[in-house]
Amino acid sequence: MSRKPRIIFPVHIWLQRHAQVALSCLGRLSRNALSSLMSCAVIGIALALPVGLHVMLHNLQQVSGSWESGASISVFLKQKVSEEQAASLAEKLRKHQRIQEVQLITRSDALQEFQRQSGFADALQALDYNPLPNLLFIQPKTDFTTAEKAQQLVQELRLLPEADIVQLDLQWVRRLQAITIIAQRAVVVLTALLSMAVLLIVGNTIRLEIQNRRTEIEITKLIGATNAFIRRPFLYTGFWYGLFGGLIAWSLVALAISLLSGPVATLAQLYQSSFDLSNLDATTALILLGGSSLLGLLGSWMAVGRHLSAIQPS
């Protein structure tokens, strides 16, 4: 009863075998170019959806980030503060090291504007005094525009004896950010769902491939192929499907972005912004390609595990 030890082959032969299998799988895919392309395209489209959304969100975040840095502070002065006092306060604040610009909107200016725009002109006429406060519209210096630093400035302004209400105009930016976070979650959920779809697509494609090559599998098992040997070409095929699907997703997203970038630039110009729609960055692209290859590998692994052992030579 001698059990022969398993022979271990040099690494270069092992590598040579893997390279051979990888290339021959590629060759097999190219021989059925149309059907391979269709499978890859399905994977590509499934992946392009979450990736495209991710890129759009990323752009949106950049835009809202630049808006946040444009945060301004409204200081509503107390009723008893006169327009002259307000003007001198504005003058004083203009010399403040953290403040870039102070715009004074006096209560009479504000009243005039309100009468013009609100349609309450008659009602306001009936009042015997101006109910509106003086307003200082403060633009912090660029170094102090982050939400945190601006908040500090707000605290400081609140200490002014003339100040009644001090408001940081970030509310709507915050709301936009909250919506963005929800959208990000949605992208995560969508990615998970569509990744599962890719797994199933690859799994099904490989299952058909296994059925088509049933005789070949039987014969190779007959002449002493290990399961690992038989599994290998299917795993590589799955890998290629994933990789090419990823490449298709990448090009679809790139195409969509380039189609959108023109109109977006025009829109940005209308808002006096030089915002440029950014495309998929290298890291995201690498994650996309790596992830899609991994999904292909996993999908074929699942199919191979389930269907290969069922085929036995007779």
Residues found near another protein in the complex (CB under 8 A): 1-4, 6-7, 9, 13-14, 16-17, 215-216, 218-227, 229, 312-314
| CB of 290 or CB of 313, closer to another protein | 313
Output 9 or 129, the one with its CB closest to another protein: 9
Q: With contact defined as beta carbons under 8 Å apart, do 105 and 135 qualify?
A: yes
| Other residues' Cβ atoms within 10 Å of the Cβ of residue 255 | 12
Which CB atom, from 118 or from 215, has the smaller least distance to another protein? 215
Q: Both tokens of residue 169? A: 């105009």
51 contacts 253 by C-beta, under 8 angstroms: yes
- Please state the closest distance from residue 1 (CB atom) to another protein, in A: 6
How far is residue 308's CA from residue 211's CA, in Å, rounded to a whole number?
9
Minimum distance from residue 310 beta carbon to another protein (Å): 14
For another protein, the closer of residues 161 and 224 by Cβ is 224
Q: Which residue, 256 or 308, has its beta carbon nearer to another protein? A: 308
Taking the C-alpha atoms of residue 111 and residue 133, their distance in angstroms, rounded to an integer, is 9
Q: How far is the CB of 17 from another protein (least distance, A)?
A: 6
CA distances from 155 to 67, 95, 160 (A): 21, 18, 9
CB of 24 to another protein, least distance (A): 10
Shorter beta-carbon distance to another protein: residue 4 or 95: 4
28: tokens are: 């097999």
- The whole-angstrom separation of Cα 196 and Cα 236 is 19
What phi, psi does 137 have (nearest 5°)?
A: -105, 105
Cα 140 to Cα 149: distance, rounded to the nearest angstrom? 9
Min dist CB 241 to another protein, Å, is: 20
Pairwise CA distance, residues 181 & 176, whole Å: 9
CA 298 to centroid of chain Cα atoms = 25
